[in-house]
Amino acid sequence: MIETPSHPQDAKENRTSTLIALVIGTILSYAVGWLIGIPFLVPILNTLASFPFMVAALRNGDVRVAVGRMLLWALTMGVCATLMAYARPWSSGELFLHGAAYRTEMFAWVMTGHGVESAPSQFIPLHLRDAGLFIVLALATGGILAMPMGAALMNYMGNYVGSLAAASARPGLTAILAWHPWSVIRIVSFVTLGVVLSAPLISKAFRFRVDRTAARSLVVLGVCGLVVDIVLKALLAPAWQRLLLRVVGW
């Protein structure tokens, strides 16, 4: 049974230490992954570093806290993958699943403006496929398989961003802009849906109740985010490519 701190200051310190532990654990998962050097293990290690924190928040009955923790996890992964790719832009692509292929695809898009990123007829089916698979995995496995999928997506996106920054005349600005706004919205939506849709199976395993009102509102926000992601990408991708090309200085 989890004990609740009796003093507000104790509760605040406990929350802070939990978030610090989550960040440190996620960073260490990359260090271990780099040492092992087996690509498919990296997202699994990422998940092992975060899954207990999500479950603990859900068991305490706060789905919003669980979402907040996993958003911090996603942010930490994004920073780690970006920095690793910036430090070693070519070798990092071999560590992350689909990393080298995605980097090649996105570099070509930045240079020419041609590619899936600017073609709604191509990227919309891919987005729907990924979202559908992620949702099914979250519901069917309590997030156990959905979270590694999300981690893999974060890692190859971060690999592209860090590699592009390393090749840029203005790496700092490039590292910010290459996290395309529609991609950030998609990440937030995936995290939100992943937590909420994992909760039913986890609640059965650990015998607790989920706040269904909060869960429903979060599902609506997550689905709306996926729609906004597609709309923004369709509208902004061509202009964003031209902006990136100017910033990178190729």
Please name the residues in contact with 9: beta carbons below 8 A apart, sequence gap of 6 or more.
none
- Count Cβ atoms below 10 Å from residue 104 Cβ, excluding itself: 13
Q: 240 near 109, Cβ under 8 Å?
A: no
Closest C-alpha to 56, from 74, 47, 69? 69
Q: What dihedral angle (degrees, nearest 10) is formed by the CA atoms of 105, 82, 53, 71?
A: -70
Place of tokens 């700092």: 172
Whole-structure pTM value:
0.92
In tens digits, what is the pLDDT along the chain, a chain of 250 residues?
444 445 667 677 788 999 999 999 999 999 999 999 999 999 999 999 999 999 999 999 899 999 999 999 999 999 999 999 999 998 898 999 999 999 999 999 999 999 999 999 999 999 999 999 999 999 999 999 999 999 999 999 999 999 999 999 999 999 999 999 999 999 999 999 999 999 999 999 998 988 889 999 999 999 999 999 999 999 999 999 999 999 999 8
